[in-house]
Structure 1
Amino acid sequence: MPHSPPDLINQVRSASRLMVRELGFMQATLAATDYPPSSVHTIVEMGERSSLTAVELVELLGLEKSSVSRMVRKLIEAGEIEEVLNEEDARSKKLRLTAKGMETLRAINSFASEQVSAAMSHLTSEQQQAVSEGIANYAAALHAHRLGIAQPPSAPLNIARGYRPGIIGRIVQMHADYYARLANFGQPFESLVAADMAELMGRLDNPRNEVWVALEGQRIVGSIAIDGEGEGGEAILRCFILDDSARGKGAGKRLLAQAINFCDEHGFCATRLWTFKGLDVARKLYEDAGFKLEQEQDGEQWGARVTEQCYVRRCPVAVQA
């Protein structure tokens, strides 16, 4: 395990104290609510997990059982959470948010998202990526230390080009999992992705078509593809997706760079992609890479009504010509 120099430790400690102050954890209440930080954390975590037992809440928050019991009682009295039957263990009850609690959760999330977004606007995209990855790693390390867990170093993500066994199923799975959570897409979307990916992979013998994957060891955790048989000499960017485990590690930016370099090398007059409104992280990647929004329309082809968007990046050589 690498030794941390004293200066680095002091810098991390100083930054941690500043974050605690700036995020409002020194105040009696947090996130524009009337509740202390522990209660706000409880409401957010219950929103993430639907329900929790008191024992699970103690483990999650790292607080004493008596402290959690008092906090839960106050939140029940305030109408934010309620006790329900635990179908897995009749000896205990589960805790979940009430309708009022869900409203409080929405207000907390809105406040916190605006707070983080405003702060991140002062950083470059590279700095934002570094912040996301650094905080995630540091938080995981703190958690592992508290629980006494030996945390192995994460394997570096590698970018590989071309077809490999299982790629179609893995791309479909990542799309289905992510968009079911994000937009409530279901079977029609999954079937559409499966058909499209199978068709595209059958055309990789054409050198103008290609696919890349991000690998964690041998596991596929991200993908992107270029369909070079678009109309009018255009390329179509397709199947750009990341597994949750790959987010915040720069994989998306690296995959997109591979695809764009491929398009420029092959002299496509433009690269086009279709997405839908609301995918702000991906939109920022596209815009940083030179894509511009050219068309919007309502659509239901993915199993739910969304605002479809078409982004286009003109080839630098074609633009100069």
Structure 2
Amino acid sequence: MTLTDEVRSFNRFYTREIGLLERHLPASALSLPEARVLYELARAPEAGCTAAKIGRRLRMDKAHLSRIVARLRARKLVAGRVSEAHGKHVLLFLTGAGRKAFAGAEAGARAQIDALLMAVDACGRERLIKAMRDIRAVLGESGTVDGEPRLRPLQPGDIGWIVHRQTVLYHQEYGWDWTYEGLASRILGAFVERFDATREDGWIAERRGAIVGSIFLMKGDEPGLARLRLLYVEPSARGLGLGRTLVAACMARARALGYQRLTLWTNDVLVSARRIYQAAGFRLTNEAPHHSFGHDLVGQTWDLDLT
């Protein structure tokens, strides 16, 4: 099944589950487009909002929106006033009846979704939240201000998630088998077990509450040497400079902790990561072939002089 088929199949499932095929929304005499217009007016400034602005937000055809507004005004749910700032603009606003109708529709919609989620456990709810945020990020909200990735410290649950996601991504993108999961588990397990807050650190990149990347600073085997480990960026957050941001955070922290050198080990197939390391000033100091994760690979050591 292609991606297009998957999206269409999901749309058919979702529209059926939440009742979008019905003529009216649950517990309401409003159609979905009418309810969306009321929603935009309910969240608009107290002075009101123009139909043109609503149309841009909803990406709705002007003639279709005009007919909806006319119906809502005829039912006395919406009224209009001439803008004091722009005499040619008509500002729409909810009447008392409109606010009451919107409140009823909102309550009915929430009750419907609550009923749909009633049988979903806590783990399933977390999966739904992440999946829906990912869909929004991939399909069109990447340019918004709140879509900018942000770095935060490690929290409980992050380590297991990172091992899982890196293993899944490297399997999907490079065909690596599950033995990579063993390597990542050993690295991060040792990091947690022997964590030294005075010499080590880690960062999680979040975007709209979802984890989209990570990086770790770990102490090396000799004084003055630190290791950069397990950099990764989710496909949904690539192209935003997040990899460079994570590497820069690791380098800055290594300098602040007094390290003289920063080293890392990677594989030559991770081309994007290697470009980030090279742009940050790392130099390739060693490489050797090896067979790991079900493939013949070339391992590389890159070093950075922090002094």
Instruction: Calculate the TM-score normalised by the size of structure 1.
Output: 0.50
2:183 corresponds to 1:188: no
Q: Residue 147 of structure 2 aligns to a residue in which SS? A: coil
The alpha carbon displacement at 1:230 in A equals 2.9
Task: Please tell me the residue identity of whatever aligns with 1:164.
Answer: Q
Contact 1:203 1:209 in 2 (8 A): no
Q: Secondary structure at the match of 1:248?
A: coil
Q: Distance in 1 between matches of 2:182 and 2:268?
A: 21
2:177 and 2:209 mapped to 1: Cα distance?
Answer: 28
2:119 is the alignment partner of 1:158: no
Cα separation, 2, equivalents of 1:52 and 1:164: 36
Query: Residue in 2 aligned with 1:252?
Result: 243
Q: 1:256 to 1:151 in 2, by over 3 A?
A: closer
1:251-303 C-alpha deviation (Å, 9 max, x unpaired): 11111110000111122121110001122211111011110101010112444
Contact 1:226 1:259 in 2 (8 A): yes
Task: Quote the offset at 1:52 in angstroms.
Answer: 4.3
Moved more, 289-298 or 231-240: 231-240
In 1, Cα distance between equivalents of 2:176 and 2:170: 6
Residue 260 (structure 2) aligns with: 269
Q: Mark the CA change 1:219 to 1:305 in structure 2 (over 3 Å): closer, same or farther.
A: same
Residue identity in the other structure for 2:248: A
Q: Percent identity?
A: 27
Provide structure 1 residue ranges, at least 5 long, that are not aligned to the other structure.
1-50, 60-143
Mark the structure with the bigger radius of gyration.
Answer: 2
Separation of aligned partners in 2, 1:170 and 1:52: 27
Change (3 A) 1:151 1:224: closer
| Alignment RMSD | 3.0
Q: Which runs of 4+ in 1 moved over 6 A?
A: none
Scaled by the length of structure 2, the TM-score of the pair is: 0.52
Kept in 1: contact 2:202–2:214 (CA 8 A): yes
2:216 is matched by which residue type in structure 1?
A
Q: Distance in 2 between matches of 1:212 and 1:240?
A: 10
Report the count of equivalent residues: 179
Are the counterparts in 1 of residues 215 and 230 from structure 2 also a CA contact under 8 Å? Answer: yes
Of 290-299 and 199-208, deviating more is 199-208
Deviations 1:224-245 (A, max 9, x none): 0011243242101001011111
Residue 289 of structure 2, aligned match among 298, 304, 319? 298
Q: Tell me how far 1:155 sits from its aligned partner.
A: 2.6
Q: Tell me the equivalent position of 1:309.
A: 300
Aligned 8 A contact 1:209 1:229 in 2:
no
Question: Which amino acid letter does the alignment assign opposite residue 199 of structure 1?
Answer: A
> Could you say what secondary structure the match of 2:176 adopts?
coil
Gaps of 5+ in 2: 9-57, 61-135
Equivalent residue, structure 1, for 2:212? 221
In 2 relative to 1, CA 304–232 (structure 1 residues): closer, same or farther, beyond 3 Å?
farther
Q: Does the 8 A contact of 2:178 with 2:293 survive in 1?
A: no
